[in-house]
Amino acid sequence: MNGVAHAWLIVALMMSGLYIVMASAHLFKKLIGLSVFQVSVFMLYISLGVVEGAAPPIVEPGVDAYSNPLPHVLILTAIVVGIATMALALALLVRIRRAYGTLDEAALAAKDEDA
Amino acid sequence: MSAAWLPVLPVVAPLLAAPLWLVVRRPQVAWWGSMAVGAVAFAAAAALLVTVLRNGPVDYAFGGWPPPIGIAYRIDLLGAFVLVLVSGVSWVVSWAGGRGVEREVDEPRRALFFSAYLLCLAGLSGMVLTGDLFNLFVFLEISSLSTYVLVAAGRDRRALPASFRYLIMGTVGATFVLIGIGLLYAGTGTLNMADLAARLPEAFDRRAVHTGIVFLIVGIAIKAALFPLHHWLPDAYARAPGVVSAFLAATATKVAIYVFIRVVFFVFGAQATLEALAVQHTLTALAAAAVVFGSWAALRQDDTKRLLAYSSVAQIGYIVLGLMLADVAGLQAGLTHLFNHALMKGALFLALVAVVYHGGGQRLSDLAGLGARMPLTAAVIVIGGLSLIGVPLTAGFVGKWLLVEAAAAKGAWWLIAVVVVGSVFALGYVGRMLEALYFRAPAAQGGAGIAEAPLGLLVPALVLAAANLYFGIDTRLSAGLAGRVAAALGGAG
Amino acid sequence: MSVEYGLTLTLLAFMLLAAWALARSDDLLAAVMLAGIISLASAAVFTVMDAVDVAFTEAAVGAGVATLLSVRALGVLGERRAAGRARVGLPFLVVLVCGGLLLYGTADLPAYGDPAAPAMQHVAPHYLARGGVETGVPNIVTAVLASYRGFDTFGELVVIFTAGLGVLTLLAGSGVSGARSEVDAGDRDIIVRQVVKWLVPFVLLFALYVQFHGDYGPGGGFQAGVIFAAGMVLYALTFGLPRLERVLPPSRLRLLAATGVWLYGGVGVACLLRGGAFLDYAVLAEDAVDGQHLGILLVELGVGLTVFSVMVLIYRAFTRQRHGGVE
Amino acid sequence: MSASFDPAWLWLAPAVPLAGALLTPLAARRPALRDAWALVSALGLFVCVAWLAGAWWRAGAPVLRSEGPEWWAGVVLAVHVEPLSMLFASVASLLWVVTTVYSIGYMRANREAHQGRYYFCFALALAATMLVAFAANLVTLFVAYELLTLATYPLVAHKGDERARQGARTYLAILLASSMGLFLPAIVWTHVLAGGTEFVSGGLLAGRLSPAVAAALLSMFVLGVGKAAVMPVHRWLPAAMVAPTPVSALLHAVAVVKAGVFTLCKIVFYIFGPAELAALGAQEAALLLAGFTVVAASLVALRQVEFKRLLAYSTVSQLGYVVMAALLLAPLSRLGAVLHIAAHAFGKITLFFAAGAVYTALHKTRVDELAGVGRRMPWTMAAFTVGALSMIGLPPTAGFVSKWFILAGAMDWQSVFVGTVLVLSTALNAGYFLPIVCRAFFREGDGRGFEEAPWPMVAAITATAALTVGVFAAAGPLIDLARMSVEVSP
């Protein structure tokens, strides 16, 4: 039986990612959590396009059932957006670390209060 | 140039110009070039508005593929109205870019700064024009990524964590939007907004659709900095280079609210969304909280840019309050205030750029005595501040009147009370700025006499201040158009 | 339950385990690796779900580039552990609410693999039935990506460009030019150098294959650009950044990054000039399908160019950073 | 009678002082030119209003209206002239001339700084006052009302020291908060109820109100129009006394406060309609509040030692008369209310002028320092006596005439409350004004000789005192005007 169990697992993974983003005090780890959050959203999308017993959406003679190509296209774009965000965030972290000497949220806030 | 170019130009012109400054790394050239591109985008937007006013909505199918197969623009009066606002204000603000970056952005970053500016403008314009949900996400990300760069481009180290925090919150918001789009797609099989609107009624009892709508709205609310999802805003605005603050305050949150209107009223259908999902009550309560909390927080700030930023949180509350009345009068009020607030905050932040340029800091005490030393800059702050309070003959009055009238017509007395409380607080925080400007002696004995900001900063600030007065008197383009848009929306919702 | 579904569930459970370990771990390098593993596992899930292009990209980007950049950045940051105190209350509440909402929302989703799902009934059938004919490209993902939703892909290209621009802006003027072991890796083992010398041309050849084979199988400009960049990075790792810079000076990389965007946008403008809509490739040639073919080829090339040059630029920017330290 | 008066000319009244204001900065560097220009502006306005009054009178129609541009859908800026407007405009423009003369003397003698800004704001305030006077609907009136607040704020804060800033802060906060918080919502509510905000004979809202709504709306107006200084929104007025005396004299005895009570009269006469209000009985609470203000403010005034603060509380009390008389709704008392706007203006400006003269000549600011001043400054203190008599309501002064009509109205409608308030407050007024007069004339001072203020000030004081007596002597035209205003708003 195919059901929605995959969706439960994906949601659980998604929420782990979100939890890491919100709960971590370390900026770098937040970023890692963000990527987990995004990956699980990608899987949710792709799971929407699966057709039982179908082939990947590359037209071939003799095949008449294909998976839905649209989610694939969207997620290709989303993956690119994800890596772009990550690169930018890492550059920001490099600057923050150099300016403050720490990436811990509480420590950062404390440093600006003295200033 | 044929009319077929018009829908494409506001987005594609800045997109194609932005990479130039990666190759030609001369700040002055980049600035002049960006102003020229901004002018083109604004002219195209204005021409679009005229076209829409004459001939009705404009449809544009990219790649020649008809929607929903391909991506399409659908530019109605609302879109054209917001596009003119966004491209117009960002153009005027960009005039200040040349002098503005001198004191606040290091030399090697200056040319790239203008690239990011253009990309952000293109992203925002794309969000306004597009009729496709996923395309909306893509342009949202273009504008967001470039915004993070702009915020962190300055010299203030505090901008770095502010930008990072914004990046995290913004990405979570964008991902929420993505989840929402996915669930809506799962429920209806389409990404085109008009198509979705047509297919939603039969799919509306699906839970995936409900959840999708909620995620989409929450994601947009983060971008719009609606209380209590506003945490990224005060620091981002306060620490960014001044020109960026002016640009963002005038455009970014406005576009997010525009997207909200588009999605809720055009796509989901106001009735269904607002009532069935209890969205109306929730958002009204949050917006009211935004007004009270934002104004109160603004009152407690010693940093002028943070003060204005918290005031923005409150003003977003006013706009959403109007929208959530969900009738023609309320929508008109919300849209009018959206328009006017862009002018107020643009003028005020630019005036602060001029103050900072002169070596003044951004604390309230740094404004002391500037009424005499920088009379024109101070006048801009006075006009912007009065407009913020909602004094007659300024643009702010028109929006406030319409909001109170819409509330009174619905008998929402408590809402009027909220507006009143917000206005009284606004009186307080604007009053503190004015008092410092005119009736406090400067702390340090600087040179006496007039030391006005350079024209490059003064002119755009004065233009926006004049716009505050102009639209306080001639309301055809602000309240008038907003009324027409609202009437159209009211018919659709 | 089908074997494929079972496999999917197993992989997901495994990923959840990895995420749990990630949440508990204080070690940042371990976190990066765990995230890479999750990403790789997701690529496997994508393959099972028939999304070969996505799997390819996720493996290259999520597991490859992201991990590489993170490790590079960790080196520069000089941070090893996330020692700070975690917040628990609010995040937990938010996660609970969001998760509950999502479970509610996904509960009545069409069953996994259901061919009658709404998403299967509208729009998608058009692509599958007509895509090959209308664009002449058998890989429907490529057809949708480059033509039907070509404007999205243009936007995506701009996003990557923006990221590159952003990294250059943020790290401008803060790099080092002096010789460092990472920067000048001229002392690598002779065997490694010989292997890499032979390997790199094959990597680049493979990239070109991926670039131009995207019409027929998984691949396209994006994947090709990443692989091409990987070849260059491998080269730089072995022979040092200066050697790479002699081949590809930064100014040329910046020009290439811009050129990619201009190429894509230029194709759109060319369509406008020939009387079509923006990115309406059909007007590019006498025959509409020929025009589509040409257009798709050119815009994919644009994507490849920008992705490749931005990736190398970003890698270079991180590599040139001083390690640790405070200003 | 020729009926060839185009009411669009009414826009000229605010335009003249506005032009005066805008040209002031050009003369900022040359004091003589600047002062001359201020005088020319004031005379110009007076001539303008006199001409308008004459033309209006000859045209024979009591109410004439001119619409300006539509502001936004349903909201129009418009001006009109009716007897009450003409009375208010005439009094304000006439006294501006006198005050300008006085100002020149005062500002020069006290070597005040920022005189350019001072005359600029003063002219702007007059422009706003003229627009208040001729506003044909609540929206236009509100615009002018707010402009008046803003234009006078720099005048109150003029000195720029901590005390002045504090006073100005209170001034601005109370006036803007009450107008934004209550006045504006009340106007919008009116707009929603009636679809407009025009001043209409018989009352715009007549027939549209329930007693509860009418009472709520009226309370919002009475408390929202903070310039009328009905307690508890009166605090701005004593706070405003940090301003230079000419400001207190013209603005806080005439233009600003009169704009407040004038606005309330307009609202009672033309928005609610006296007959309608009386039928609904919705004015009782507001009437009690006004009566309370009259007595309470007098009690407070009794305990003041600072000259200008005493006058300020006296003003609060006198404004209470106008509001109370208007709200009593009896035709005679309404006539009295209209008259009292003018009568109090002449009397109170004289008192302020006198206070300013004493400060300029002797640097005294407290009433207990005034012993013997009558001998050193006979002109000033004689004028002061006239003003004081007018406040108390004794002949031969203007105050007597207006109070007479108010009392007659109370008798007419058998209002024990109003009658009692009048008697009580008359006694209190006498209680704090007469001792000052006695101390000035009948106590020994420090024995120094004649020491009057500069001549322009003395001239101005004499002029206003003469006017106060003159109104009593030749009250006919004024009473005619007031009667007309009662007739057009039955």
Query: Cβ C327–A98 below 8 Å, yes or no?
Result: yes
The three-point CA angle B256-B261-B263 to 5° equals: 90
Of how many residues is chain B composed? Answer: 493
Please list every residue in chain C whose beta carbon sits closer than 8 Å to the beta carbon of residue A12. Answer: 16, 99
B 177-206 → C contacts, CB under 8 A: 179, 183, 185-191, 199, 203, 206
Do the chains C and D touch each other, judged by at least 3 C-beta pairs below 8 angstroms?
no
The reply to whether C171 touches chain B by the CB within 8 Å rule is: no
Same domain, C152 and C101: no
Which residues touch B163 (CB under 8 Å, ≥6 apart)? A92, B148, B151, B152, B236, B239, B240
Q: How many domains does chain C have?
A: 2
Q: CA-to-CA distance for D329 and D269, rounded, in angstroms?
A: 9
Q: Are residues D249 and D296 in the same domain?
A: no
B 431-490 residues with CB < 8 A to D: 431, 435, 438-440, 473, 475, 479-480, 483
Residues 116-175 of B with CB under 8 A from C: 116, 119, 122, 126, 132, 134-135, 138-139, 141-142, 145-146, 148-149, 152-153
The whole domain housing D104 covers 1-180+234-265
Which pLDDT belongs to residue C178? 44
Q: C268 vs chain A: nearest CA distance in angstroms?
A: 19
- Which of A45, A92, A108 lies at the smallest CB-CB distance from B152? A92
Shortest distance between the Cα of B274 and any Cα of chain D, in A, equals 25
Range of the domain at B373: 278-493
Q: How far is A46 from chain B (nearest CA, A)?
A: 10
Other residues' Cβ atoms within 10 Å of the Cβ of residue C22: 23
C-beta atoms of A87 and C95 within 8 A: no
Residues in chain D with pLDDT values less than 50: 1-2
Contact status, residue C40 vs residue C73, Cβ threshold 8 Å: no
Q: Indicate which of A18, A41, A74, A90 best probes the interface with C, i.e. most C CBs within 10 Å of its own CB.
A: A90
Please tell me whether residues C322 and C267 are part of one structural domain: yes
The pLDDT of residue D440 is 85
Query: Beta D64-72 vs D75-81: how paired, if at all?
Result: antiparallel
Position D141 in a domain: yes
Name the residue among C124, C276, C278 with its Cβ closest to that of B12. Answer: C278
| pLDDT for residue D3 | 54
Split into its structural domains, chain D has a count of 2
- The Cα of A16 is separated from the nearest Cα of chain B by a number of Å equal to 13
Is the residue at D38 inside a domain?
yes
pLDDT of residue D73: 75
- Split at pLDDT 50, 70, 90, the class of C186 is low
Q: Which residues of D touch B427 (CB under 8 A)?
A: 172-173, 176-177, 180
Residue C15 lies in a domain: yes
Same domain, C161 and C263: yes
Query: Does residue D189 lie in a domain region?
Result: no
Distance from CA of B144 to the nearest CA of C (A): 10
Q: Do A35 and C35 touch (CB under 8 A)?
A: yes
A110 to chain C, any CB pair closer than 8 A? The answer is: no
Band of residue A70 on the pLDDT scale cut at 50, 70, 90: very high
For the CA atoms of D257, D258, D261, D265, what is the dihedral angle to 10 degrees? -160
Mean pLDDT of A6-24: 93
List of residues 6+ apart from C195 with CB closer than 8 A: none
Yes or no, beta carbons of B16 and C162 under 8 Å apart: no
Query: What ipTM does the predicted assembly reach?
Result: 0.88
Do residue A94 and residue C216 have CB atoms under 8 angstroms apart? no
Q: Is residue D147 part of a domain?
A: yes
In a domain, residue C275? The reply is: yes
Enclosing domain of residue C238: 139-327
In a shared domain, residues C83 and C187: no
Model confidence pLDDT, tens digit, residues C244-265: 888 889 999 999 999 999 999 9
pLDDT at B447: 55
**A to C CB pairs, distance under 8 Å:** 325
| A63–chain C Cβ distance below 8 A for any pair | no
pLDDT of residue A2: 55
- pLDDT of B292 reads 95
Domain-located, residue B489: yes
For A16, what's the count of Cα atoms within 13 Å in the CB-facing half-sphere? 23
Identify from A58, A75, A105 which residue to disrupt to test chain C contact, counting C C-beta atoms within 10 A and taking the largest count. Answer: A58
Residue D194, domain member (yes or no): no
**Under an 8 A CB cutoff, do B391 and D146 touch?**
yes
Q: How far is A63 from chain C (nearest CA, A)?
A: 11
CATH number at A94 reads 1.10.287.3510
C38 domain residue, yes or no: yes
Q: Do C156 and A77 touch (CB under 8 A)?
A: yes
Residue C133 lies in a domain: no
The closest CB to that of D181, out of B423, B479, B480, belongs to B423
Pick from C81, C106, C131: which residue ends a domain?
C106
Q: From residue D89, how far is each of C250, D47, D82, D133 by CA, in Å?
A: 76, 12, 11, 6
Please list every residue in chain C whose beta carbon sits closer than 8 Å to the beta carbon of residue A7. 103, 106, 109, 112
* Chain D neighbors of B388, CB-CB under 8 A: none
For residues C167 and A65, the model is more confident at: C167
Tell me the residue type at B481: L
| One domain, residues C91 and C148 | no
Question: Min CA distance, B491 vs chain D (Å)?
Answer: 19
| HEC assignment per residue over chain D | CCCCCCHHHHHHHHHHHHHHHHHHHHHCCCHHHHHHHHHHHHHHHHHHHHHHHHHHHHHCCCCEEEEEEEEECCEEEEEEECHHHHHHHHHHHHHHHHHHHHHHHHHHHCCCCCHHHHHHHHHHHHHHHHHHHHECEHHHHHHHHHHHHHHHHHHHCCCCCHHHHHHHHHHHHHHHHHHHHHHHHHHHHHHHHHCCCECCCCCCCCCCCCHHHHHHHHHHHHHHCHHHCCCCCCCHHHHHHHCCHHHHHHHHHHHHHHHHHHHHHHHHHHHHCHHHHHHHCCCHHHHHHHHHHHHHHHHHHHCCCEHHHHHHHHHHHHHHHHHHHHHHCCHHHHHHHHHHHHHHHHHHHHHHHHHHHHHHHHCCCEHHHCCCHHHHCHHHHHHHHHHHHHHHCCCCCHHHHHHHHHHHHHHHCCCHHHHHHHHHHHHHHHHHHHHHHHHHHHCCCCCCCCCCCCHHHHHHHHHHHHHHHHHHHCCHHHHHHHHHHHHHCC
User: Is there a single domain that holds both residue C100 and residue C169?
Assistant: no
Task: Let me know if residue D214 belongs to a domain.
Answer: no
Chains in touch with A (≥3 Cβ pairs < 8 A): B, C
Number of domains composing chain A: 1
Residue of B145, B172, B190, B215 to mutate, testing the A interface (most A Cβ within 10 Å of its Cβ): B172
The beta-carbon neighbor of A41 closest among B152, B158, B178 is: B178
Which residues lie across from D366 on neighbouring strands? D306
The CA–CA distances, whole Å, from A94 to A89, A90, B232, C171 equal 9, 6, 20, 8
Tell whether A34 lies on the interface with C, counting CB pairs under 8 A: no
Q: What is the pLDDT of residues D266-291, one digit of tens each?
A: 999 999 988 888 888 888 889 999 99
- B222/chain A closest Cα distance in angstroms: 15
Which residue range is the domain that position A90 belongs to? 5-114
Report how many domains make up chain B. 1
Closest CB to C5: pick one of A2, A13, A48. Answer: A2
Q: Out of B137, B167, B175, whose CB is closest to A38? A: B175
- Rounded Cα–Cα distance for residues B35 and B94 (Å): 6
Question: Is D199 part of any domain?
Answer: no
In a domain, D271, yes or no: no
Which of A41, A74, A76, A90 is the best mutation test for B, with the most CBs of B within 10 A?
A74
Residues C27 and C173 in one domain: no
Mean pLDDT by 10 residues, chain B (493 residues): 79 94 90 94 95 92 90 92 95 90 86 95 96 95 96 91 95 96 91 91 84 93 92 92 93 94 84 75 93 94 93 95 90 93 94 85 85 88 93 91 91 90 92 85 62 87 94 88 85 49
The per-residue DSSP string of B56-108 comes to: --EEEEGGGPPTTTS-EEEE-HHHHHHHHHHHHHHHHHHHTHHHHHHHHB-HH
Nearest-neighbour CA in chain B from C148: distance (Å): 5
CB contact under 8 A, B172 and A37: yes
Residue in the block written with tokens 């107008």: D179
Res C179 pLDDT > 50: no
- Tell whether B294 is covered by a domain: yes
Using a CB-CB distance cutoff of 8 angstroms, which residues of chain B are in contact with residue D164? 439
Q: Report the alpha-carbon distance of residue B34 to residue B96 in Å, rounded.
A: 12
Phi first, then psi: what are they for A25, rounded to 5°?
-90, -10
The answer for C 269-288 residues in CB contact with B (under 8 A) is 269, 272, 276-283
Whether C121 is in a domain gets the answer no
What local confidence, expressed as pLDDT, does residue A57 receive?
85
